[in-house]
Amino acid sequence: MFGKTKPTLSERDVLDALKGVKDPDLGRDLVDLGMIKDVRIGDGTVALTVNLTTPACPLKGQIERDVRNALQARLPGEWNLTVNMTAEVRGKGSAESGDIPGIKNVIAVGSGKGGVGKSTMAASIAFGLKSYGASVGLMDADVYGPSIPHLVGANARPQAIGERIQPIEAAGLKLMSMGFLLEPERAVIMRGPMLHGIINQFLRQVDWGSLDYLVIDLPPGTGDVPLTLAQTLPLTGAVVVCTPQEVALLDATRAISMFRQLRVPVLGMIENMAFFDVLAYLKDRGGPEARKLAEGRNFFDLPGDERAYLFGRGGARQRAREMDVPFLGEVPLNLYLRETGDAGKMDSALQPGSPSRPYLLGVVEQLAAQISIQNERKAQEAAKARLPKLEILN
Ligand SMILES: Nc1ncnc2c1ncn2[C@@H]1O[C@H](COP(=O)(O)OP(=O)(O)OP(=O)(O)O)[C@@H](O)[C@H]1O
């Protein structure tokens, strides 16, 4: 029946109907971005695929709705619609301009101050991106105090095959850390050139394979490692972790200006240890009376007084605004997050049932969106640079 009334519907009609449907983050039409694939028109049916720029896209649901609504409103008559949502991470990874072949995005996670949870956030970002289906590596560039092996519970020794070093694989991530190469209690004493050599080796000699994202845990502060990294390869961008405390914010500000001086785009700030969720704690660990009190209350609908702002409130969000840097979200202080880290099971903090999961995934989605925005910006700049220059003759 449908086939008879609309025999002439073509792929062009479908693409035209989608004109004006934008990726809200990238601000451009899905069609122009090449995200609409596999348009198939059958007897009364239209099927297509929306190929997003990251599987962790926070606007996936909205984009799917916008596509459906546009097709329903603009295609003549009634069609049975199938919209498949897939993702293919964009980025570089070609050998040109110093990239590491096969690695699409390299993201450095830094902090001004030590102990603010930088490694915990770097591992969470890696596990979070992986949980959406991306292929992810985690490189521990905190050569003086490598904590990634401990957080993810890996302590194997990397094998070398010829010149190539095989990364350690644990919990679905490819890993490399100074911690795999040292005796546990040995201190690292290294000067600039040696450090430069190690970082270079970790980047170039490790067989990372194909990765959508390589997350790098930097040492705290504004020392040699970020400088070396920025000189060695074009980073997609950096994330700065801080707590709401004034000293941490001050140091985070320094870290942001360091990245800016190094021409590394700042993808955003994470406020870790933003508050302590008393209600969540009572539900999880309280005695029978306290648990009864906490039962039945909505985890996310707290009036405010059940959140203890131990290090101050909202400082990072405000600082991010002042410095014109995206705010990626807040992560509360949580006993389970600390315990899973200590037990070498950080991936559990990202799994269903973990009180930290919604906050961590929120941060990961915002970061993934910023990475896509950054890549789109670079692609636009490159396209502009390729345009022939108009000569003004007079
Ligand atoms: N949101 C959180 N809730 C509870 N504990 C946390 C949280 N974030 C981090 N921690 C804990 O705080 C400690 C320090 O975290 P982490 O090692 O990630 O910090 P860091 O900034 O990388 O430190 P360093 O300066 O040594 O590199 C760890 O024991 C970790 O488990």
* Atom 31 of ligand 1, residue of closest alpha carbon: 338
Task: Identify which of 109, 111, 113, 119 to mutate to test ligand 1's pocket (most ligand atoms within 8 A of the CB).
Answer: 119
Kind of pairing, strands 307-308 and 237-242?
unpaired
DSSP letters spanning 338-386 = HHHHHTT-GGGGGSTT-TTHHHHHHHHHHHHHHHHHHHHHHHHHHHHHH
Q: Alpha-carbon distance 82 to 322, whole Å? A: 44
pLDDT-derived band of residue 188, with 50, 70 and 90 as boundaries?
low
pLDDT of residue 87: 96
| Domain range list for the chain | 11-87, 103-362
Query: Does the C-beta of 118 come closer than 6 Å to ligand 1?
Result: yes
Instruction: Say how many Å lie between the CA of residue 131 and the centre of ligand 1.
Output: 21
**Ligand 1 near 116 CB (within 6 A):** yes
* Closest CA to ligand 1's atom 19: 117
What's the rounded Cα separation, in Å, for the pair 34 and 74? 20
Q: Pick the range with the lowest mean pLDDT from 21-25, 208-212, 246-250, 365-369.
A: 246-250
Quote the CA–CA distance of 114 and 91 in Å, as a whole number: 30
First to last CA, the chain: 64
pLDDT in tens, 311-321: 988 889 999 99
The set of residues, in sequence order, having a beta carbon less than 8 Å from that of 31 and lying 6+ positions away, is 15, 18, 19, 21
Nearest residue to 171 (alpha-carbon basis) of 135, 216, 127: 127
Average pLDDT over residues 149-169: 91
Report yes or no: 54 and 26 within 8 Å, Cβ to Cβ.
Answer: no
CA distances (Å), 322 to each of 9, 116, 131, 298, 330, in order? 51, 21, 32, 33, 17
Mean pLDDT for all residues in the chain = 89
Is residue 200 within 8 Å of 227, Cβ to Cβ? no
What is the bridge-based pairing of β-strands 36-41 and 28-29?
unpaired
What is the average per-residue pLDDT within 159-177? Answer: 92
Q: What is the pLDDT of residue 341?
A: 95
Which range is least confidently modeled, 155-159, 244-248, 305-309?
305-309
Q: Give the 3-state secondary structure of residue 48.
A: strand
H helices present in the chain, as ranges: 2-5, 11-17, 60-74, 118-131, 148-152, 192-204, 224-232, 246-261, 278-285, 288-294, 315-322, 335-342, 357-386
Cβ of residue 119 lying under 6 Å from some atom of ligand 1: yes
Residue 230: half-sphere exposure toward Cβ, Cα within 13 Å:
20
Q: Which segments are annotated as binding site?
A: 112-119
pLDDT at 1: 46
223: Cβ–Cβ under 8 A, 6 or more apart, which residues?
none
Nearest to 48 by CA among 76, 70, 28: 70
Quote the pLDDT of residue 185.
65
Answer for the pair 248, 319: CB distance below 8 angstroms, yes or no: no
Name the residue with the closest Cα to ligand 1, atom 25: 114
Q: Is the pLDDT of residue 118 over 50?
A: yes
CATH of 103-362, one of 2.60.40.10, 3.20.20.70, 3.40.50.300, 2.60.120.10: 3.40.50.300
Q: How confident is the model at residue 3 (pLDDT cuts 50, 70, 90)?
A: very low
Give, as one character, the DSSP assignment of residue 103: B
341 lines ligand 1 (CB under 6 A): yes
Q: Which atom of ligand 1 is nearest to the CA of 122?
A: 18
Average pLDDT for 74-102:
84
Q: Is the CB of 366 under 6 A from ligand 1?
A: no
The model's confidence at residue 244, banded by pLDDT at 50, 70 and 90, is very high
Residue 65 to residues 1, 18, 22, 29, Cα–Cα distance (Å): 26, 12, 12, 15
Q: Which of 156, 197, 164, 200 is nearest to 180 (CA)?
A: 156
Most confident of 163-172, 216-225, 382-391: 163-172
Q: 305 or 172: which carries more pLDDT confidence?
A: 172
Tell me which of 130-139, 247-256, 354-363 is least confident: 247-256
Specify binding-site residues for ATP: 112-119
* Interior angle at CA 42, CA 39 and CA 48, nearest 5: 25
Contact (Cβ atoms closer than 8 angstroms) between residue 28 and residue 61: no
- Residue 120 CB–ligand 1 contact under 6 Å: yes
Whether 331 lines ligand 1, by a CB cut-off of 6 Å, is yes
Rg (CA), the chain: 24
Q: Residue 187: its pLDDT value, please? A: 65
CA distance 372 to 378: 10
Mean pLDDT along residues 337-362: 94
- Report the candidate in 32, 30, 61 with the shortest Cα–Cα distance to residue 48: 30
Evaluate whether ipTM surpasses 0.95: yes
Q: Is 146 in the pocket of ligand 1 (CB under 6 A)?
A: no
273 lines ligand 1 (CB under 6 A): yes
Query: Under CATH, what is the fold of the domain 11-87?
Result: GMP Synthetase; Chain A, domain 3 (3.30.300)
Residue 389: pLDDT band with limits 50, 70, 90? low
**Cα 337 to ligand 1 centre (Å):** 9
**Mean pLDDT, rounded, for 95-117:** 86
C-alpha 186 – ligand 1 centre gap (Å)? 21
Of 173, 188, 104, nearest in space to 142 by CA: 188
Measured distance CA(9)–CA(15) in Å, rounded: 11
Distance 273 CA to ligand 1 centre (A): 9
- Dihedral over Cα of 334, 336, 337, 339: its sign: positive
Q: How far is the CA of 117 from the centre of ligand 1 (A)?
A: 3
Tens-place pLDDT, residues 270-316:
999 999 988 778 877 888 877 777 776 655 555 556 788 999 888 89
Which atom of ligand 1 has the smallest separation from the CA of 113? Answer: 25
Mean pLDDT of 228-242: 91
Cβ of 340 closer than 6 Å to ligand 1, yes or no, is no
Q: Is 111 in the pocket of ligand 1 (CB under 6 A)?
A: yes
